[in-house]
Each structure stands twice: as C-alpha cells, then as structure tokens.
Amino acid sequence: MNLCPACGEKFLDDEISTISSHFYSMALSSDPTHIMWLNRNISKTKMQQYALNDKFTEFYDFSKEGLSMWIKKRFVARFFNDDPNVFVLDMQQPSVYTIMGYVTEHYHFLKQWVKSCAYILGRTDFSEIQKYEFDNISEEYFGKDGQPAHVDLLLQMGESVGLKKGEVISSVPLEKTVRALKYWNHVCSSEHWLDAMVSIHSLELIADKNVKDYGAKYAYFKPEILNDGITKEVVQFLKAGYEADQYHSGDALKLIEKYAGQLKMEREVQSYFLRSMDFFYGYLEARHERGKMYEDKL
C-alpha cells in the first residue's frame, strides 16, 4: 500500500511508477495541489513521464543513509533551508507576540498529541512501542524527573508574557491548526500504527538541536536565548523541548526504521511522513498568524 503525499489518495501497491504517473496525470490537468508539491519537492520544470519517474525514484531512495536519516534530511530541507518556514524565522528573534501565538496554537496541538500517542499505544501489540508512547503521554501531562508537565510549562510560558491560562484554554484554534489536527486525529485513529507514529513523531525534529548536522541553515531558535530569554518561563519551556525532542524524535525514528523494515512498509512510511510534514508546515504558519493577531490587537 502507499498514498499520494499531496492529496492522500491511496494506492494498492507501493511502486514508484504508481506515484509518479499519478502526479504526472494530475499535473497535466493543472491540479494546484500536485503542481505545488512538484514545484516544492521535485522540480518546477515540466518533464516527460519517464524522467519524472526517475526523479521520484531518486527522491524516495534512502538506501545510502537509511530511513531515519532520509526523514531527518527531508524535514530539514522543508523547514530549515534558505527559505525557512515563517515561524522558524519568527523564532530567530521571538517577540512577546511570537510566544503568545506559539502558546495558543500549541496548546491545541498538545491536546491532540496526547490523543495521537494514546491511539498508537492502543493499536499496536509491540510492547516497546507501547512503553515509548506511554512515556510520551506521561511527560506531557504529568512531567518527568521532577519537572512540571509539558502542557503546564507551555501555559506558564504564556502567563509570563501576559497571556491568561483561561484565554488559551478557551481559544479556538486557527483554520490551519484545525486542518492539521483533524488530519493527525484521522491518521492515528484509523491508519496503521506505524504510519501514525511517523506522522507525529517525525515532527519532533523541529526542536532537534542537531539539525545543522543534517544540512539546516537555521536552528529552531538561537541557543543564546536559553541564557537570555524573554522570561524565565520561556527559557524553561524551550529548554525542556530542546532537551527532550532530540531524544524523542531520535528514539522514535529508530523504532520507525526498525519496524518499517520488519513490516516492509518503508515506502508507505515515507509517504505518510511527507504528507504529515505539509500539515505541520501549515500549523507553524498558524502560530505565526496568531502572533500577528495578538500584535495587531495589543
């Protein structure tokens, strides 16, 4: 099985030629979703079907460095390249409004995150996956090693920049956030647990401090902010993510690579990762948009 990373259409086989011919015919009919995906990931220049097939073969090839590194490099190319996501740019010099936008949208993300982890836990029989997800859920809601729960750290960060906890909890997420949360809820509740796992845990790469080793031009934020942040609560939240997400995503990617190989699901996992990354891109834009809304209002 495989799916189109642009539109989510499912294919019965995982041949590259199936994906590439699907893209080719959609591009011939001037479909915006597929053309934008081709422009971003393959080439802006139209080519013959056989040449497009070769490009897709090259794009999906992880034989040199392994699946885990392929995911890391694709993620970096999407979020930390010369033309990074707008929220990554915001985070290079975050304002109070950047933090406010971050807190409000991320609160909704974290609520879905716990549900997603719980779906995976409930839908796999592999105990090491269950333990991994249990650890994730526990850290989000109960904290770890004497640290407050991740969600509490987030709300405290908001309060430290003047954002009331009640306002965050009662807020309605922006459209791009809603779209992304619906997608992750669907994947985690209905698709194979491994597709769910790669869809959500690959996203923790956003705060991986080693992204520059995978070709990133930017990091999520400048480490100096941990010594001289806007407030101590901002530092505490970012530090927790900085220290946790690195091993979270690293450990998850190792598990994903192991089980994708065992279950012969590598290509399917790659496509689910690519599709999830696009929803995450929009979700980060929503954080930026929310920050601009606070800036205009206050």
Partner 1 sequence: MKTNYEGCALCDGTWGDYWREIEGKNTFFCCSICADAFENMVNRVKKETGWKKIDSVSIEGNYSKGRDCVATSGDKRVEYFFRHEDGVITEFRLKGQGTSPVP
Give residues in contact with partner 1 (CB under 8 A).
27-28, 30-32, 35-36, 38-39, 44-46, 83-86, 296
Residue 286 burial class via C-beta count within 10 angstroms: exposed 0-12, middle 13-18, buried 19 and up: buried
CA distance 49 to 58: 14
For partner 1, the closer of residues 1 and 35 by Cβ is: 35
**Shortest CA distance to 104 belongs to which of 277, 289, 297, 240?**
289
Nearest approach in angstroms of CB 87 to partner 1 is: 11
For partner 1, the closer of residues 268 and 278 by Cβ is: 278
- SS3 for 62? coil
For partner 1, the closer of residues 49 and 130 by Cβ is: 49
Nearest approach in angstroms of CB 51 to partner 1 is: 13
Nearest approach in angstroms of CB 133 to partner 1 is: 33
For partner 1, the closer of residues 84 and 241 by Cβ is: 84
Give me the residue label for tokens 């719980």. Answer: 118
Instruction: Quickly count helices (H) and strands (E) in the chain.
Output: 13, 2
Give me the residue label for tokens 């509740």. Answer: 189
Nearest approach in angstroms of CB 67 to partner 1 is: 27
Nearest approach in angstroms of CB 83 to partner 1 is: 6
Fill in the DSSP letter of residue 10: E
For partner 1, the closer of residues 140 and 285 by Cβ is: 285
Q: Rounded to the nearest 10 degrees, how much is the dihedral formed by the CA atoms of 10, 12, 18, 21?
A: -50
Residues in the chain: 298
- SS3 for 170? coil
Nearest approach in angstroms of CB 114 to partner 1 is: 30
CA distance 236 to 156: 9
For partner 1, the closer of residues 43 and 262 by Cβ is: 43
